[in-house]
Homo-oligomer: A and B are copies of this chain.
């Protein structure tokens, strides 16, 4: 038979078995934290009607999406989890209880040009809290607490949640007489981390911002010191612009409440340079950076918005949410040597029969499983050496050796494959040792 060469498409992450175990653990940490905070799960289709999914774009085809026809139906693969959420809330408005807190962890699709670190299929892990008409700002302060718990659970040592408020920034630019140019100024200032102060000043010049005003802007967004000092520095512009004052008041409230949630100041920084995109966010905005790896960029971002579902409904549905690009975060952590795949195993123990008495081996395996041990038996008819090689290659921490001597004694021989230590005990005792 002629063979087809097996391959996986570029930009589609497909892990080796050990890596997949770690990825699943990683996702479980996100999920269990979201659940602890009382979020509902949600699982929307990967495929949606193009008219629905591209409502914002007016149904136009975009280069970056997977869109196609099946018969007469115009279909698009979801490119994020926010648009499906908007559709879901508009569609099920009468069935939902507000504030509606939901998490969704799922794959999204973007037909981007293939390049290192860019994925075409990747997991996003989102949470959003949606209000009906209004939504308490305390939710804005709970979000950093969730991010903090997740990054702590992941075992990532140093990380900083950076927070700002879009109203504060917009108000500031209005004070600086840049009202007509707020979006352009924001876009340029957002590049500060990447291109540096000098180039930002030059670019601001091209849209008519004077060198003096540019210096004021840079001075403002570079405000440093403790969070208290940063807020104090922001006070000096207070009283000139309503939007600015509203933003400052929100930011103070959020910063103060985040503390109540137990997030330490070393992990939570007010940063006037954070802008997050241009037109969606309307209040609090978040980014999260890993201190040892600033090159990863923001690994968890989001913010407050006024209208989740304006393309589908007249209802005013304000919300606040974050998204973790799980595939990308896993991938960069993996490359930085964060995971120890050599210790990862699908089992806690492997049973190795050295007897024809399969019944005894099966009984031992059943007893171990009942005790909560992840276990399999090497049933193939091979030499002991081959069996031990398999145990080592799947990184089994323990081998449970069963020969006719053990059977006669009603026991098993438990071998710690790291230390080489071996002891003879009952299956139940073995389970206790294995589970530590």
Is B358 touching A260 in the complex (CB atoms < 8 A)? yes
Give bound CA distance, A115 to B96, whole Å: 27
Interface stretch among A2-10, A166-174, A186-194? A2-10
Please state if A52 and B7 are interface contacts (CB–CB under 8 Å).
yes
Q: Is the CB of B12 within 8 A of A136?
A: no
A57-99 interface with B by 8 A CB criterion: 66, 68-71, 73, 75, 86-88, 90-92, 95-97, 99
Q: How many angstroms from the CA of A69 to the CA of B70 in the assembled complex?
A: 12
Question: Interface residue count for A (Cβ, 8 Å)?
Answer: 98
Q: How many copies does the complex hold?
A: 2
Contact (A109, B14) CB under 8 Å given A6-B90, A136-B379:
no
- Tell me whether A408 is interfacial, beta carbon within 8 Å: no
| A383 contacts B by Cβ under 8 Å | no
Does A333 touch B at the CB level, under 8 Å? Answer: no
Question: CA–CA, A314 to B52, complex, Å?
Answer: 46
Give A356-388 as 1s and 0s: 1 = Cβ < 8 Å from B's Cβ atoms: 001100110010010010111101110000000
User: A38 — which chain B residues lie within 8 A by C-beta?
Assistant: 346-347, 350, 374-376
What is the chain B residue whose CB lies nearest that of A380?
Answer: B136
Chain B residue with the shortest CB-CB distance to A53: B4
Q: 8 tightest A-B contacts by CB?
A: A38-B376, A68-B68, A17-B40, A12-B45, A4-B55, A136-B379, A6-B91, A138-B379
Q: Which residues of A contact B (CB under 8 A)?
A: 1, 3-9, 12-18, 20-21, 23-24, 35-49, 51-52, 55, 66, 68-71, 73, 75, 86-88, 90-92, 95-97, 99-102, 107, 109, 111, 120-121, 131, 134-136, 138-139, 257, 260-262, 309-314, 346-347, 350, 358-359, 362-363, 366, 369, 372, 374-377, 379-381, 390, 393-394
In the complex, besides A23-B43, A36-B375, 7 extra interface pairs with C-beta distance below 8 angstroms are A7-B49, A14-B45, A35-B374, A37-B374, A38-B350, A38-B376, A261-B366
Q: Can you list 24 A-B contacts with CB-CB less than 8 angstroms, sorted by A residue number?
A: A1-B311, A5-B52, A6-B87, A8-B87, A12-B47, A13-B45, A14-B88, A16-B92, A17-B40, A18-B40, A20-B40, A20-B43, A21-B41, A38-B376, A46-B107, A46-B121, A47-B120, A47-B121, A66-B70, A68-B68, A97-B390, A97-B393, A136-B379, A260-B358
